[in-house]
Amino acid sequence: MRPMKYLAPLAAMAALLAFSGHASATNFSMACVEKYSDAGFPTSADVTRTCDATDGFGGWFNLFGQHALRFHWKNTLVWPRDYIEDSFAGGGDNIETDWSSADLNVFSGHGTCQNPPVATSGDFIVTAKPGASNFVNIGNSLRLGEFPGSGVFGNNGNLNTFMINASCPMDLVSLTTQWWQVFQGLHIAMGHSGDVSHDNLDSSSKLPTVGMYLAPPIFPLFAGNMSYRGAWMAAGLIDVQSQVCAVITATGRTESEAVSRRDSERPTGAIGDAMPPTWIAWRWVCKG
Amino acid sequence: MNHKTSIFCSILAALCLLMAGATAFAQVAMPKPRAVSDAERAELLRTLAAKFAVADGAKPELNAAGAYRFAGNADFLYVDRTDIGSFLFERASYGLDPKPIDEKEYSREVLLPRLQKALRKVAPTSEAPVFAEFQDEFAGAAPMKTGAAPIDPRKSAVHVARTAAFVREIDGIPVFGSELLAGLDRDGAIGRLRVHWPKVDAALVSDAKKLRELVDGKVWQPPKDLQDPDTKILEVRAGVGHSAFADPGFSSAAVVRVLARRSARGTEYPIASTSYRYFDRDGMEVFFSAFPDSGSSGRGKAREGELPLRH
């Protein structure tokens, strides 16, 4: 018997998988709010297309059934604690957005904009739990993807990718003050930069188109499908006003790792977890 | 009408309603995955080779769902719609060269003629596309420490790609929803392309011209819900509107498009939403986009590990 004859192909396969990183179905979750008035906001806070946007994204993203939708909370079922780090007061992200097997979360609803934002301006997503304080300050409250063994924030989160469809959740000028600390193992985040006069429109075209770019399963799976970067840069400017930018951010232990995540990570081709990050990489495209 | 006739009519009406509902549902169903036929396979490979120089040996993975067809591998993605002719192509390498683009080579004067030449080959359109703006892409990275001084990414990024966006007009009438997005990679080949340029019925253009007269003459007024003090109307234009590339159905109509911003008063932080809304001549809202409502998780069902229920 020649064990090497059998071991060599297995070893090659293992090496290939290790190099290519995670390659399986994406556990994804979504949250959208249209009826803010049901949570006590004035009716003028209601929007009309944010849930159509997530419906369309999910329909496309999982068109071929290769992924797993864990939950799709809508309207008053979208709570602030879903996003707030569970070791912080009022937080419960460990059983929601940042649960132990989470890969992708999509939020579609309100953010807030400044005029203009400065380096210390807060970025927000706005949830809709009746009676709650629904303005979730991203820099203060979100800690996503706590890599097991990292020793921070309970080690119990595992979100890889966070996609936001809202007004101004990722302003360029405040990116490092509001987002760096969110990356506790989180690989990539996407959102928009703008101000009160330059807004990401309430639209049901942008997210579904992003989902369409990410839809087709391309074999072998480790080759992955379209990168998040490719989809977000190509479709992130659908229905935005001038001077709005679609932004994607990633972190890594080295510059090349952060850049590689930013540019190449795919739903079925995530680059393995690694902490702590020491580099942040950004990319954006702006409507002229 | 006797009792039996009344029951019969009621059942008939209910059936009609059910059928109407089923039709409406069918209109918003996602396209159904299906096999790619041998003829389609050959056609797609021919298209990829002729338009985008994808080599025979590239062996892209092919998938299809309804009118949508997908082809791709680690190097590119191609999607088209057999019903209305829309298509997109994205090279994985587009924008990845970390060196800055040559600003002269990518200036408006040089880039637009090059793009127009490339587009004549891959995306001939029935009308001359109107250049709208460039979409400039930047990339960068920086070392970080918690508590360190903030870094402005705009001061630490390289201009890596420039994509041109075009809009559509027919006889001076804007066509809302049509897209032509095109960018050249460093080697001069198409790197990013999205062409959503469906055929527009001439009658709709004619109707839109009449609507424009009503708008210009202030005969057409935005509906009352847009005239409240929390809403600021930013733009009102008459034109032809149609569904987007990713909308599984397709519809088009002569419409007035209103861009409006609605601000909420009295909230802890300012919140506002800006959106396009489309209306017909009578002020009835027109929707071009619809997706199957996936419902909400958790209604009548507990979230994992918690009570009480969220309803």
More confident residue, A207 or B12: A207
Q: What pLDDT, on the 0 to 100 scale, is given for residue B208?
A: 98
**Could you give the angle at the alpha carbon of B273 between the alpha carbons of B271 and B278, nearest 5°?**
165
Q: What is the mean pLDDT of residues A120-146?
A: 96
Q: What pLDDT, on the 0 to 100 scale, is given for residue B49?
A: 95
Q: What is the mean pLDDT of residues B174-192?
A: 97
- Is the ipTM here above 0.95? no
More confident residue, B300 or B248: B248
A-to-B residue pairs, Cβ atoms closer than 8 angstroms = 256
Q: What pLDDT, on the 0 to 100 scale, is given for residue A223?
A: 52
Q: pTM for this one?
A: 0.90
Q: Is the model's pLDDT at B308 over the cut of 80?
A: no
Q: What pLDDT, on the 0 to 100 scale, is given for residue A9?
A: 44
User: 3-class DSSP state for residue A119?
Assistant: coil
8 Å CB contact of A285 and B136: yes
Closest to A42 (Cβ–Cβ): which among B157, B179, B266?
B266
Note the pLDDT tens digit of each residue in A139-174: 999 999 987 666 677 667 889 999 999 999 999 999
Q: What pLDDT, on the 0 to 100 scale, is given for residue A221?
A: 52
Q: Is the model's pLDDT at B299 over the cut of 80?
A: no
Q: What pLDDT, on the 0 to 100 scale, is given for residue B224?
A: 93
8 Å CB contact of A286 and B90: no
Q: What pLDDT, on the 0 to 100 scale, is given for residue B55?
A: 86
Q: Is A199 touching B (CB cutoff 8 A)?
A: yes
Note the pLDDT tens digit of each residue in A48-73: 999 999 999 999 999 999 899 999 99
8 Å CB contact of B143 and A255: yes
Q: Is the model's pLDDT at B129 over the cut of 50?
A: yes
Q: What pLDDT, on the 0 to 100 scale, is given for residue A148?
A: 66
- Cβ neighbourhood burial of B271 (10 Å; 0-12, 13-18, 19+): buried
Q: Is the model's pLDDT at A15 over the cut of 50?
A: no
Q: What pLDDT, on the 0 to 100 scale, is given for residue B220?
A: 98
Residues of A in contact with B95 (CB under 8 A): 233, 283
> A207 vs chain B: nearest CA distance in angstroms?
9
Q: Is the model's pLDDT at B96 over the cut of 90?
A: yes
Residues of B in contact with A255 (CB under 8 A): 141, 143
Order of strands, sheet of B169-170, starting from the edge strand that comes earlier in the sequence: B169-170, B173-176, B231-242, B252-264, B271-279, B285-286
Q: What pLDDT, on the 0 to 100 scale, is given for residue B300?
A: 42
pLDDT band for A224, please (50, 70, 90 cuts). Answer: low
* Per-residue DSSP letter, A266: B
- Calculate the average pLDDT of chain A: 89
Give DSSP secondary structure letters for A155-199.
G-----EEEEESSSSS-GGGHHHHTGGGBSS--EEEEEE-BTTB-
In B, minimum Cα distance to A75 occurs at B296
